[in-house]
Amino acid sequence: GEDVEQSLFLSVREGDSSVINCTYTDSSSTYLYWYKQEPGAGLQLLTYIFSNMDMKQDQRLTVLLNKKDKHLSLRIADTQTGDSAIYFCAVISGSARQLTFGSGTQLTVLP
Amino acid sequence: GAGVSQSPSNKVTEKGKDVELRCDPISGHTALYWYRQSLGQGLEFLIYFQGNSAPDKSGLPSDRFSAERTGGSVSTLTIQRTQQEDSAVYLCASSLSRRMGSGANVLTFGAGSRLTVL
């Protein structure tokens, strides 16, 4: 089945850019998602990208997809303290009926 | 409702007791999912309901776990004879559709039910 991996921790300074990376294994993956989880809350969809796209930009968020390397990244420009949260990469592939999530990356924004 | 509601938000129970966790999805959402989030780990798929179809139970970790969805709306996840390793946050999500090619199939999550088994 699909395997999705992320690094567990990332620390950045306020105002810098954050880049959160994700790799997956199933080349038939169709939709790829980024969710944000703040403490004590459920997951909130940030953005998603369809597999026929290389890039998607939405305000401070930029998603890059490298299908050849099965690599997805989320870039947050001008990172703020309110961006501190856990960010989950999730993938749905052609054979799956549910999302497969990575372990989440804990982003800490330092003042 | 406006969002996915889960109850209780926190549950502390003793080992061996049964627990029920409830999920009230967004009105009109035909697909409903249960995931488990253990400390420091990603989300583990448990079970999925789509309309009147037979549920996909492939993620349930043991026969102590079961789930129902009554009337295509509210769902209850039941854990019998709880064990300490069942301690986790149980997340419910719903979406309009899960059919492949029907769109991005965006899941809306509830805030979760935190279960602690002593």
CB contact under 8 A, A42 and B35: no
Over 50: is that where the pLDDT of B23 sits? yes
Give the residue, A96 or A57, on which the prediction is more confident: A57
Q: Which residue among A30, A50, A101 sits closest to B43, beta carbon to beta carbon?
A: A101
Residues of B with Cβ-Cβ distance to A42 under 8 angstroms: 4, 91, 93, 109-112
Q: Which residue of A has its CA nearest to B10?
A: A40
| pLDDT of the residue at B100 | 46
Strand partners, A49: A32
Strand partners, B113: B90
Residues of A with Cβ-Cβ distance to B111 under 8 angstroms: 40-42
Of the pLDDT bands very low, low, confident and very high (cuts 50, 70, 90), residue A31 is: confident
Distance CA A102, CA A21 (A): 10
| pLDDT of the residue at A106 | 95
Give the residue, B8 or B105, on which the prediction is more confident: B8
Condensed to tens digits (0 to 9), the pLDDT of residues B76-108 reads 999 999 999 999 999 999 988 655 445 667 889
Over 70: is that where the pLDDT of B25 sits? yes
- Do residues B10 and B114 make contact, with C-beta atoms less than 8 angstroms apart? yes
- Contact of B40 with chain A, judged by CB distance below 8 Å, is answered with yes
Over 60: is that where the pLDDT of A110 sits? yes
| pLDDT of the residue at A94 | 63
Of the pLDDT bands very low, low, confident and very high (cuts 50, 70, 90), residue A27 is: confident
| pLDDT of the residue at A29 | 80
CB contact under 8 A, A43 and B48: no
- Do residues A31 and B106 make contact, with C-beta atoms less than 8 angstroms apart? no
CB contact under 8 A, B111 and A41: yes
- Output the CA–CA distances (angstroms, integers) from residue B116 to A11, A45, A65, B79, in the order listed: 30, 27, 38, 12
- Do residues B101 and A50 make contact, with C-beta atoms less than 8 angstroms apart? no
Condensed to tens digits (0 to 9), the pLDDT of residues A84-99 reads 999 999 998 766 667 8
Q: What is the mean pLDDT of chain B?
A: 90
- Contact of A98 with chain B, judged by CB distance below 8 Å, is answered with yes
What proportion of chain B, given as a percentage, has pLDDT over 70?
92
